[in-house]
Amino acid sequence: MRISNPQLLPLCQSLWLPVTFRTQIRPLSRWHAQQSSDVYIKAAKAESYRCRSAFKLLQINESFSLFKGKKRVVDLGAAPGSWSQIAVKLARKEPSTIPVLSIDLLDFEPVPGTIHLPKTSVENTTVINKALEEMWGENKPQLVLSDMLHNVSGENSFDHINSLKLCSHVLKFCFIHLEDRGSVVMKIYNGPHEPEFIKLLQFYFKRVKRFKPDASRKSSKEHYIIAKGFQRDVYDKKHSRPEIQDDLSEELD
Ligand SMILES: C[S@@+](CC[C@H](N)C(=O)[O-])C[C@H]1O[C@@H](n2cnc3c(N)ncnc32)[C@H](O)[C@@H]1O
C-alpha cells in the first residue's frame, strides 16, 4: 500500500504495523510532491481549467496583449483544452461567429464555444482548410496559438529538433492562413538552432520576442516565441519569385 498523503506518513509509522506493510510505506515521489505543492495546479482546479497551462497563456497575454481585438483564433495542439478555454474567454465576440478552432492529434473533449478537430495533425491541411472555410469563409485567423510539443525524451538535441519541426509547421500554417498583421505564439524547446529560426520569423513579422511565463516550470526547457505584425506583403513578394521559394523550402526543412 502506498501512502499518498504526506500528513498520514508519520501517523502510520508510529502505529504498530506488520513488517511487510511497514516496508511498503514510501515517501512521496518527487513528481507527486511537485504536483501537490504546485500552486498552478490548485488554481487550475479552482478555476475549472483543464490543466495548469492555462496560466502560461494568461501570463503571455498579460505581457503581450495577444487577444486585443482578435475574433478568429486557432489553437494548435489544443488537448486537453485549457488554452482553448482561455481563448474563448478572451477573443472578441461577434454574433454568429465561433471564435476558436481547436486542433490536436489526440482525442479530447470539445471546449464549449469552439469548433473542435480531434485526432488531427497540424499537417492535415485538407481537414483544417475545410474547417477554416466553414467557420470564417474568406476571413483569415488573426491569432495562432501553438503549445505543441512531442513527449520529451530527455535527449536535449533530439527534443529541440522535434520542437523546431513543429514550429516550422506553425510558421507554414501562418504563411497560408494568418491574416495580415496577425500574431502567433509558439512553444519551443531550447536549443542551438533557435536563433536561426528567430531570424526567419523576424523577416516576416514586425516584432518577435522570447518569453518564459512564471507558470512554465523552471526545470522545463520550454519557452515561447511571440511574433506580432505578420507582413503578408513580404511573404507574397518572396513567393512571387520561384528561386526564392526554393530557398524558403530549404530554410523550413
Ligand atoms: C502541452 S500539450 C497542449 C496543452 C494545451 N495547450 C492546453 O492548455 O490544454 C501539447 C499538445 O500538442 C499536441 N501535438 C503534438 N504534435 C502535434 C501535431 N503534429 N499536430 C497536432 N497536435 C500536436 C499533443 O497531442 C498535445 O496534446
What cell numbers appear for 115 in the block? 469548433
What cell numbers appear for 102 in the block? 481547436
Residue type, 102: S
CA distance 64 to 102: 21
Which residue has 505578420 as its cell numbers? 230
Does a structural domain hold residue 208? yes
What cell numbers appear for 94 in the block? 461577434
Does a structural domain hold residue 225? yes
Show the ligand 1 pocket: residues with CB < 6 angstroms: 50-51, 53-54, 76-83, 103-106, 121-122, 147-150, 166
Report the nearest-CA residue for atom 19 of ligand 1: 121
Q: What is the pLDDT of residue 167?
A: 98
- Domain of 154, in residue numbers: 51-252
Does a structural domain hold residue 191? yes
Does a structural domain hold residue 124? yes
What pLDDT tens digit does each residue of the chain (253 aa) get? 333 333 333 433 433 333 334 444 455 566 566 666 789 999 999 999 999 999 999 999 999 999 999 999 999 999 999 999 999 999 999 888 999 999 999 999 999 999 999 999 999 999 999 999 999 999 999 999 999 998 888 899 999 999 999 999 999 999 999 999 999 999 999 999 999 999 999 999 999 999 999 999 999 999 999 999 999 999 999 887 655 455 555 666 6
What cell numbers appear for 31 in the block? 513528481
Among 190, 174, 189, 177, which Cα is nearest to 227's?
174
Distance 236 CA to ligand 1 centre (A): 29
Q: What is the pLDDT of residue 6?
A: 34
Does a structural domain hold residue 42? no
Residue type, 150: H
Does a structural domain hold residue 149? yes
Tally of domains in the chain: 1
Does a structural domain hold residue 110? yes
- Could you give the 3-state DSSP secondary structure of residue 55? helix
Distance 150 CA to ligand 1 centre (A): 8
Task: Give the CATH number for residue 136.
Answer: 3.40.50.150
CA distance 120 to 128: 8
CB 149, CB 222: distance < 8 Å: yes
What is the pTM (predicted TM-score) of this model? Answer: 0.85
Q: What is the largest CA-CA distance in the chain?
A: 81
Task: Give the H/E segment covering residue 203.
Answer: helix 194-204
Does a structural domain hold residue 3? no
